[in-house]
Structure 1
Amino acid sequence: MSRAGRATLPRRAAIGRLVLRRLAMAVPVLLVVACGVFLLGAASPFDPIHQYYGVEVFSAGEEQLEQTRDRLGIDDPVHVQFGQWVGGLVTGDLGTSRVYHQPVADVLAERLPWTLLLAGTGLVVAALLALVLGIVTAWRQGGWLDRTVTAIGQGMEGLPSFVLAFAAILVFSVLLGWLPVAGVTDGNAEAGAGQVAQHLVLPALVLGVSQSPWLVLHLRQSMLTSLADDHVIGARARGLPEPLVVTGHALPTALLPFLNVLGTRVPELVTGAVLVETVFSWPGVAAAMVDAGLAVDYPLLAVLALAATVAVLLGSLLADIATALADPRVRADG
């Protein structure tokens, strides 16, 4: 085995220990999150029975309502409901949603892929915008594009994603008529790839653009720092072409902190996806989360909260692994 191959073995082992340690830490975190959901649900002023029956609750008899309460365990103490839910979770049973009247696993199977599609596409859009604008503005520091992008980015940092969504609908759907407003298909049309792609453009762009200001400004600053490093100055002194100096010498160094920032933006991405889904009537988990909250639907609420927590933890872990793989100087077991 070569020296380089022998050197990578301890590195891989350190990354493996990092993954195992993060997985071990995730278990108590997920338990605390799930317990918090049940405690918050217990303090909710909403009566789950009203959401379960809808308008039919007014025509249902008291005996029927009481039987439903007993069957669903609505009046059981919160610790009893939590224990039953954890017990079912251990055996692979996510429970039954009170508001959708179907297994939680089926609700997730129907809605989670749509959320992953939107969030994944939005993340790609945000990353591409950050790479292009961050590199160009740092390369041409002080130019009109740099001043414009920096001003817009700083102004958009505090702009909620739903405001951007309404503005995009007004411009691209209402005034120009280029893109559909909501849903994943036109009316009762079949959800084919073309229909889905057409309806995905606007919400994905809104989500990506809403997440890009932090990424653009951070990568710009990292590029400015990297462009002043000795190895970049040396590359310019050797007469290398400027595009090669920027992309081949400055960019790799600037990407390391950018990867960490990209991982820390996952919580904002989850929140932004929920708001964008609501505005564009995207059939993801956003509507399910709202309905579950109104109905105090413990099984569905807890699973959705756990899914969001897993996304945050996974984003942080992937960012750390990517940084450790890209830079041998970074300790993978730190």
Structure 2
Amino acid sequence: MTRSPAATRRSRHLGGAGAVVRRRLLVAGPVLVATSMGMFALGAASPIDPAQQYAGAAAFTADPENLAQIRANWGVDDPLPVQYARWVTNLLRGDLGWSTSRHEPVTSVIAARAGWTLLLVGTALALVLVASLLLGSLAAYRRGGLFDRGLRAVAYAIASMPVFWLGLAAIALFALALGWLPAGGLTDITATRTSWGDVAHHLVLPVVVLAVSQVPWFVLFVRDTVAESLRDDHVLAARARGLPGRTVLFGHALRTGLLPFLTLIGTHLPELVGGAILVETVFSLPGLGAVTVQAALGSDFPLLAAITVITTTVVLAANLVTDLAYAAADPRVRLDG
């Protein structure tokens, strides 16, 4: 039975996707190993005794034999290669270690807070995509006009502001001066239970601040790509046929400019995660960002290492998904090339 040309092209495309996944996995392995080794080396180089850190203030009056027993149980005095191999083995089993600053398993710390971070990052990313596609397209359509020049000036100004400064300014204006929104947390102080309405009200400022801090580069990118697409032959032909400007802009030029936009999302994901860490700290949100800062201040290397490895894995996976989505959106892209 002879296969149709469309089926043959689809089979080749799927085969190319498998090749991309295999190549990315070959790259991800060394990256994750290097990341884990770097974090483990930082923890090993720390002058802080994990046993004393675990004991806290009681370490000053604790029996040295008890502290020595804790070190022996944790294998702190074993050779570094042995410690690293044991840590990686436990990591592969799902045992991320014990948080010395929070006195609970690292798995429990991450599981209790990852959802809030994902909610913050996901909502902010959705807001960034909608705002950048709309504003960037309008600026490209009115390229050189007052709206275009004003939007670029605002974008460059916002891009020069640190995200924590934007957060503090938003709190000072909308929470303290105007009293429109809460300054932080997920619920009111007097609340006896957590409701989604209360959470949504408290997340308005953090989400908007995180989105505003990331949107300038997306807006400028969309503006440039759509402006270039407006000069393509098929867009000029659509204009010549007398199609409305809205149809030409969103139905032809924007669709062409969306392809490179997918790549931008993957490359800016680490910056979005980094901004979420600062936003959660400023607004006292119980996500992974605030825990990461607390772990760094408390030299909690098991928690820091686990969060770093997980974040690296998520970024690598997001870049892979971005490449596959780009190829799916444009069949002309050869994945096996």
Please classify the TM superposition score into its range, dividing by the shorter chain length. Answer: over 0.9
Indicate which of 276, 284, 288 corresponds to 1:285: 288
* Structure 1 outlier segments of 4+, above 6 Å: none
Structure 1 unaligned regions, length at least 5: none
Over residues 289-310 of structure 1, what are the superposed CA-to-partner deviations in whole Å (9 max), with x where a residue is unaligned? 2333344434322211111101
Larger mean CA deviation between 228-237 and 180-189 belongs to: 180-189
What corresponds to 2:126 in structure 1? 124
- Return the offset for 1:218: 0.6
Taking the aligned partners of 1:205 and 1:162, their CA distance within structure 2 comes to 13
Output aligned runs, 1:1-334, within 5 Å. Answer: 3-187=5-189, 188-334=191-337
Kindly tell me: are residues 191 and 333 of structure 1, through their superposed partners in 2, closer, same or farther at Cα, counting changes over 3 Å?
A: farther
Could you give the per-residue CA deviations for residues 285-328 of structure 1, whole angstroms, max 9, x where no partner exists?
A: 12322333344434322211111101221221122111111112
Structure 2: state its 5+ residue gaps: none
Amino acid in the other structure paired with 1:287: A
Q: 1:75 to 1:152 in 2, by over 3 A?
A: farther
Rounded Cα–Cα distance in structure 2 between residues aligned with 1:49 and 1:278: 28
Q: Give the secondary-structure state (helix, strand or coil) at the position aligned to 1:258.
A: helix
Stretch deviating more after TM superposition (217-226 or 153-162): 153-162
Q: Distance in 1 between matches of 2:134 and 2:62?
A: 60
The answer (yes or no) to whether the contact 2:167–2:206 under 8 Å persists in 1 is yes
Deviation per residue, 1:10-39 (Å, 9 max, x gap): 112211221232123212211110010011
What is the percent sequence identity of the aligned residues?
50
Q: Provide the secondary structure at the position in 1 that maps to 2:82.
A: helix
Q: Is the 8 Å Cα contact of residues 259 and 322 (structure 1) preserved in structure 2?
A: yes
Contact 1:118 / 1:273 at 8 angstroms: preserved in 2? yes
Q: Could you tell me which amino acid in structure 2 is paired with residue 190 of structure 1?
A: R
Equivalent residue pairs, number: 334
Task: Compute the RMSD of aligned alpha carbons.
Answer: 1.9
Amino acid at match of 1:266: L
How far, CA to CA, are the matches of 2:262 and 2:106 in structure 1?
A: 34
- Partners of 2:120 and 2:276 within 8 A in 1: yes
Q: CA deviation at 1:107?
A: 1.3
Q: Distance in 2 between matches of 1:104 and 1:223?
A: 45
Q: 1:38 touches 1:78 (CA, 8 Å); kept in 2?
A: no
